[in-house]
């Protein structure tokens, strides 16, 4: 907002009871109704226009400048602006410095364009202001939440009709929970798993529980591509984040099931005094989009009686696609599954979900209070890490009705197929190298000038290291310069595994989820990267490292 405002000659704004009451009462006459409608269309279309034209990752105004304009910490006793001015400010002064994640040239993150009806649904949720922590503040919304969870449960676990009839509205159990995001969904899954493995831990703490169980430590096993929320969960749950044991990946960035199996066996040996709290399979790794071999993981977990969690925060909705659901086969054997609504369900920020195969799994984390959530009550808050909570399930439930699973499948299929086209474009270019093949709709690649590509194919490990360090700098620079030019955006990460010759390499990461991103735009993005590479001299032979 522009806080260096000009001297104001209008009537000063006042804070009085009459004005205040007006903001609480619904517009009583046509005129004020029209004003409100005008505001809403200003928001819907003013922002749409802006979003159609602007990418917003530019250097136009630096973070430092923006921070400077937003450093006044005094609270104003008097109203400063009227709502229409605030909205204009937001559209003209704030939105231009936000990031236009809905641009088809923005292919760097798991945040993208959303269907416009999501904004309407979100507005309705805000207008009704239900609090699903308890029935007394939500009533039908608690019922809808259970129904939506059952639908998603069905998508994942596909149990019998009789099972869903029995549990969909059963107040004594829960098929899962809505959470703020995937981080808290993963946390909830491991929380329930921990409390089942170590009875008494919630009340008595880790020390007593370990003693009772006769163990010295608990570990969680996941591939080295596991999301960092798993580390947070291990820390918060008191088992220690160093006990999230990373398992090697294969050349396709999937967990090495053989190594996992050996690790589990090794940890079970007498004298190790170690319990495995959970094995986590990833269905759509954040960095590479790859899917772990879920069937093999399910076998290992079944053999050893280990909780099997699948982190499908990204990939879960792939189950709606007839063509690609098979990529996740084995997910139905999980004990718990994380799915994010604000990713491939295209919901507005934020919505996480955790589903449990066993409707009583969440009993392990119930909490009660005297004024709400009393024992025996049906309040959703009993089995939730959150207290007060928005009814995001309504948005998902309605979105599923508007789209149908077929509609969602069109988006999923388009993303995967666009990623394959993009991979092909990258392969065809002399100065590019595909690093991870797209299994879902995420891929990684890097700029690698032809001569260096040929050198890498034949040199020693040490020589490769020097070349890779050079390329890492190059790719970091190109990614940064492209972002700063503000026309398009891909993200960047560092990978290391058999797929990179076990060397750390900086890669560019593309997430293809925007249905408006087509092959032409992708070629433009690569052209731009190529231009930047040539401009900074990265393609010239004299820039090659001395190897
Ligand atoms: C995004 C993501 C998460 C975390 O989800 P948030 O909603 O950002 O908290 C966890 N796991 C995977 C695989 C993800 O892609």
**Ligand 1 site, residue 105, Cβ cutoff 6 A:** no
**Whether the CB of 181 sits within 6 Å of ligand 1:** yes
Higher pLDDT among residues 37 and 319, named by residue: 319
507's enclosing H/E stretch is strand 505-511
Residue 458, φ and ψ in degrees, nearest 5: -125, -10
Weakest mean pLDDT among 79-83, 279-283, 301-305? 79-83
Q: Confirm or reject: Cβ of 229 under 6 Å from ligand 1.
A: yes
Q: Does 183 contact ligand 1 (Cβ within 6 A)? A: yes
Say yes or no to pLDDT of 432 above 60.
Answer: yes
Q: What is the DSSP string of 67-125?
A: HHHT---PPPSS----HHHHHHHIIIIIGGGS--TTSTTB-SSS-----THHHHHHHHH
pLDDT reading at 152 higher than 60 = yes
pLDDT tens readout for residues 379-395:
889 899 999 999 999 99
Q: Cβ contacts of residue 161 below 8 Å, gap of 6+?
A: none
- Which own/partner pairs from 231-238 qualify as long-range (CB within 8 Å, at least 24 positions apart)? 232/183, 232/187, 233/183, 233/186, 233/187, 233/190, 233/191, 234/190, 236/187, 237/187, 237/190, 237/191, 237/194, 238/201, 238/205, 238/206
Query: In this structure, is the dihedral angle defined by the CA atoms of residues 198, 202, 208 and 210, taken in order, positive or negative?
Result: positive
HSE, side-chain direction, 13 A CA sphere, residue 332: 12
CA of 312 to the centre of ligand 1 (A): 8
CA of 183 to the centre of ligand 1 (A): 6
The whole-number pLDDT of residue 1 equals 43
For residue 79, the tally of other CB atoms under 10 A from its CB is: 14
Q: What is the mean pLDDT of residues 21-26?
A: 75
pLDDT recorded at residue 175: 98
* d(C-alpha 538, C-alpha 446), whole Å: 13
Q: Which of 187, 229, 292, 318 to mutate to test the pocket of ligand 1 (most atoms within 8 A of CB)?
A: 229
Average pLDDT over residues 290-300: 98
Q: How far, in Å, is the centroid of ligand 1 from the Cα of 178?
A: 14
**Which of helix, strand or coil describes residue 505?**
strand
Residue 7, pLDDT > 70, answer: no
% residues pLDDT > 90 (the chain): 78
pLDDT at 9 over 80: no
pLDDT at 213 over 80: yes
Output 150 or 537, whichever has higher pLDDT.
150
Average pLDDT for residues 481-497, to the nearest whole number? Answer: 94
Mean pLDDT of 503-516: 97
Rg over alpha carbons for the chain, rounded to the nearest Å, is: 26
> Which tokens hold the place of 78?
């008097």
CB burial of residue 274 (10 Å; 0-12, 13-18, 19+): middle
CA of 467 from ligand 1 middle (Å) equals: 33
- pLDDT reported for residue 63: 86
**Percentage above 70 pLDDT, the chain:** 93
For residue 526, give the 3-state DSSP assignment.
helix
* Residue to probe by mutation, ligand 1, list 108, 228, 234, 314, most atoms within 8 Å of CB: 314
Does residue 311 have its Cβ closer than 6 Å to ligand 1?
Answer: yes
Residue with tokens 């007498």: 270
Pick from 377, 360, 356, 359: nearest CA to 368: 377
538 pLDDT band, cuts 50/70/90, is confident
Residue 154: is its pLDDT beyond 70? yes
Output the average pLDDT for the chain.
92
Tens digits of residue pLDDT in 433-451: 999 999 999 999 999 999 9
φ, ψ of residue 177 in degrees (nearest 5): -150, 145
Q: Is the pLDDT of residue 324 over 80?
A: yes
The protein residue with its alpha carbon nearest to ligand 1, atom 5, reads 182
**Residue predicted with more confidence, 116 or 310:** 310
Q: Tell me the average pLDDT across 444-468.
A: 95
> From residue 352, how far is each of 137, 373, 535 by CA, in Å?
21, 22, 43
Residue 489 DSSP symbol? B
Distance 442 CA to ligand 1 centre (A): 14
Does 13 have pLDDT greater than 90?
no
509 touches ligand 1 (CB under 6 Å):
no
Protein residue with least CA distance to atom 4, ligand 1: 182
Q: What would the pLDDT profile of 70-126 be if each residue is shown by its tens digit?
A: 999 999 999 999 888 888 888 888 888 888 888 999 999 999 999 989 999 999 999
Cα distance between residue 291 and residue 318, in whole Å: 11
Position 3 pLDDT exceeds 70: no
Q: Which range has the worst mean pLDDT, 52-61, 255-264, 321-330, 529-538? A: 52-61
The per-residue pLDDT for 55 is 64
Give residue 313 CA to ligand 1 midpoint distance, Å.
5
Query: According to the model, what pLDDT value does residue 512 have?
Result: 98
Query: Nearest CA to 338 among 190, 206, 205?
Result: 190
Ligand 1 atom 2 nearest Cα: 313
Pick from 135, 123, 438: which is nearest to 290 by CA? Answer: 438
Which of 7-21, 70-84, 421-435 has the highest mean predicted lDDT (pLDDT)? 421-435
Whether ligand 1 lies within 6 angstroms of the CB of 512 is answered as no
Is 314 touching ligand 1 by the criterion CB < 6 Å? yes
Please name the residue whose Cα sits nearest to atom 12 of ligand 1: 313
Distance CA 529, CA 34 (A): 48
**Ligand 1: centre distance to CA 540 (Å):** 39
> Does the beta carbon of 286 sit less than 6 angstroms from any atom of ligand 1?
yes
Q: Is 134's C-beta closer than 6 angstroms to any atom of ligand 1?
A: no
Is residue 239 predicted with pLDDT exceeding 90? yes
Secondary structure (H, E, C), 416-454: HHHHHHHHHHHHHCCCEEEEECCCCCEEEEEECCHHHHH
The token pair that represents 136 in the structure block: 């007394």
**What digits encode the pLDDT tens for the residues 160-192?**
999 999 999 999 999 999 999 999 999 999 999
pLDDT value at residue 517: 95
Using the mean position of ligand 1's atoms as its centre, give its distance from the Cα of residue 227 in Å. Answer: 7
DSSP 223-284: ETT--HHHHHHHHHTTS-GGGEEEE-B-TTSSB-HHHHHHHHHHHHSTT--EEEEEEEEEBS
> What average pLDDT does range 37-65 have in this prediction?
73
The closest residue, in CA terms, to atom 15 on ligand 1 is 286
pLDDT of residue 542: 47
Average pLDDT over residues 508-533: 97
Residue 514 CB less than 6 A away from ligand 1: no
């Amino acid at each position: 907002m522009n806080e260096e405002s000009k001297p104001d000659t209008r009537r000063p704004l006042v804070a009085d009871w009459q004005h205040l009451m007006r903001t609480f009462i619904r517009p009583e006459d046509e005129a004020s109704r029209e004003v409100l409608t005008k505001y809403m269309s200003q928001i819907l279309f003013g922002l749409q226009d802006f979003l159609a034209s602007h990418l917003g990752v530019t250097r136009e105004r630096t973070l430092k400048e923006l921070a400077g304009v937003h450093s006044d910490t005094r609270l104003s006793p008097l109203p400063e602006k009227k709502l229409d001015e605030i909205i204009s400010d937001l559209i003209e002064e704030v939105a231009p410095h936000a990031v236009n994640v809905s641009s088809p040239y923005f292919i760097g993150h798991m945040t993208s364009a959303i269907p416009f009806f999501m904004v309407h649904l979100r507005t309705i949720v805000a207008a009704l202001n239900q609090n699903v922590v308890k029935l007394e503040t939500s009533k039908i919304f608690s019922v809808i939440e259970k129904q939506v969870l059952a639908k998603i449960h069905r998508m994942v676990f596909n149990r019998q009709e009789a099972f869903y009839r029995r549990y969909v509205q059963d107040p004594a159990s829960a098929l899962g929970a809505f959470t703020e995001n995937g981080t808290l969904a993963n946390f909830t899954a491991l929380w329930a798993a921990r409390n089942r493995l170590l009875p008494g831990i919630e009340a008595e703490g880790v020390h007593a529980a370990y003693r009772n169980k006769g163990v010295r430590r608990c570990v969680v096993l996941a591939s080295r591509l596991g999301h960092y929320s798993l580390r947070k969960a291990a820390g918060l749950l008191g088992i220690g984040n160093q006990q999230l044991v990373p398992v090697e990946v294969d050349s396709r960035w999937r967990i090495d099931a053989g190594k996992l199996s050996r690790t589990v066996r090794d940890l079970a040996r007498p004298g190790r005094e170690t319990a495995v709290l959970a094995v986590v399979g990833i269905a759509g790794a954040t960095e590479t989009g790859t899917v772990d071999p879920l069937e093999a993981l399910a076998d290992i977990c079944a053999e050893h009686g280990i909780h099997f969690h699948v982190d499908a925060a990204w990939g879960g909705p792939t189950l709606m696609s007839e063509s690609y659901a098979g990529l996740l086969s084995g997910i139905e054997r999980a004990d718990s599954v994380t799915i994010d609504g604000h990713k491939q369900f295209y919901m507005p920020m934020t919505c996480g979900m955790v589903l449990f195969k066993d409707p009583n799994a969440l009993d392990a984390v119930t909490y009660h209070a005297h004024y709400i959530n009393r024992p025996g009550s049906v309040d959703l808050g009993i089995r939730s890490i959150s207290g007060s909570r928005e009814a995001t399930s309504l948005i998902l439930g309605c979105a599923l009705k508007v789209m149908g699973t077929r509609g969602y499948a069109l988006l999923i299929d388009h993303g995967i197929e666009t990623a394959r086209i993009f991979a092909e474009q990258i392969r065809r270019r002399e100065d590019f190298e595909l690093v991870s093949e797209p299994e879902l709709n995420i891929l990684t690649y890097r700029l690698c000038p032809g001569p260096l590509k040929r050198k890498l194919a034949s040199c020693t490990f040490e020589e490769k290291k020097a070349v890779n360090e050079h390329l890492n700098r190059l790719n970091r620079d190109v990614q940064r310069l492209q972002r700063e030019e503000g026309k398009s955006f891909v993200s960047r990460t560092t990978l290391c595994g058999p797929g990179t010759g076990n060397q750390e390499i900086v890669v560019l990461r593309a997430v293809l989820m925007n249905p408006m991103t087509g092959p032409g735009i992708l070629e433009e993005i690569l052209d731009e990267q190529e231009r930047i590479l040539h401009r900074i001299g990265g393609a010239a032979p004299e820039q090659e490292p001395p190897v």
